[in-house]
Structure 1
Amino acid sequence: MSKNRVSLLFFVLFLTGCQGNVVPSKSVSLEREAEPVIETERVTLEATQPMDEQDTLGVEEEAPIVKPEKQLTAAERLTLSLIEQGEAALSAERLLTPEDDNANLYFQAALGRDPGNFKATLGIAAIVDVYTQWAWEAALSHDYNKSDRYLESAHSVNPEDPMIVEMSSRVNDLMNKRAHTPKAVYKQPERKEPKEGQYLLPESLFSLSEDEIIAEIQPIIDEVRKTEQAIEIYWPDDKEARLIYQIINSRVTAFRVRAMTYHRADYMVELQQD
């Protein structure tokens, strides 16, 4: 073997031996330094979770606390029952009557058991309000006697209520004002003379007694029986017009009376001509 080949072989073996003895210290060092960085990021992410999510994990919601209702005593239950009966009587306008079942009786009894009871006090005031309002409405209708009676009833419920004094003053002022106001003279409108087959009736027909009403309508009944004619009723109140027809028809038994009603203030019944 030549010297050149031996030298080359020796050189190759030397290089191979050097590569096998090299220690990769830098690679190991880099890998070990990278590990803490990854761990730190994981810990940081866990720490940044919202506190409310962390706190609520695995925690059950607590049921609302229900406070027990206050137990009423027998006396309190009786007072409450009296007030409820008083309110029912007030709604039905049983204010002072009947004697053993009226709003004032129940509310006064409740106040006797529990002086100053708020609902019973309101009930008494409500009774006074109703009576004073009725007193004013009666005064507006010129029925001053009825107005006085309502005010007396209110006074019997609670004489200390200032509404009674106020309403009495209002009613007196109304009476004085009307007393000094000249009354308008009402002139009865002239009524046309009825033609044949027409029967005029008084405008105040239904303010008369039953016998007087029949006496006014009887000539119409007699004529309808005889002629069997249909009738026309001219009256401003439809209910009263129907009542006139019912009176006539009920007294004509041989046949059913045919009729038409007209909403006119003629106060007249007319027989239809064939």
Structure 2
Amino acid sequence: MKCISTLAVLCALLMAGCSTTAPPQPKQSREPVAVKPTVSPAEQRARMIARLLSRAERALARDRLLMPAYDNAYDRYASVLQLDPDNEAAELGMQAIVLRYLAMARDAAQRSRYQEAHRYLDRAATVLPDNAAVSAMIDEQREQTVEPQTPVVADNAVLLNAGELQARTATVKAQLSDLALRARRDEQMVLIVTGTDAQGRWVYQTMREAVKGYLLRADIKVGSPARVEFLSPP
């Protein structure tokens, strides 16, 4: 009986051990690791060229052609051509800079600012100095941008600055007032010579306002250079 009792105790102990719950094991993370895609050198160069072209176009639209340094259209396009010597957009951009300077030179010449016009042409010549077609175009416009010789006018004539006359500046208004006072003082008739009939009428109106109450005798003629001539009284 004692042996049976001992055997029962051992069986009970073994069953108790089998029913013991094992401690939970931590779960291992199986989340995928993100891998950044590798950008090829060709793709990096393409992205850089796109950024440079975008900045160059903005600079060109704002007339930042050769200046300021390091923030102008020319430097951006030149950088693109270093990366891609045959880049068509950059080549066209360089030509656009030249054309913009030519337009600025023509505008300055039309306002009789010939020195300013030649400065623009000098800048245009530095953009594509090895392009024969561009150089020929600049030289042709340079020949046309020549300050005309001032024709001989009568000794009693006073020249008017064409640019100031076109802008109707305070300086030319003051000059016309002085001329009107002179005409009244010497009782002289004046001949007004301007580029257009409308300019001539404006000159006469300005002079007449300077001598209100006085009958300013004047004749208007379209011609060049712009001037006011004092005529001897009949």
Per the normalisation by structure 1, the TM-score is 0.41
Q: Mark the structure with the bigger radius of gyration.
A: 1
TM-score where L is the length of structure 2: 0.48
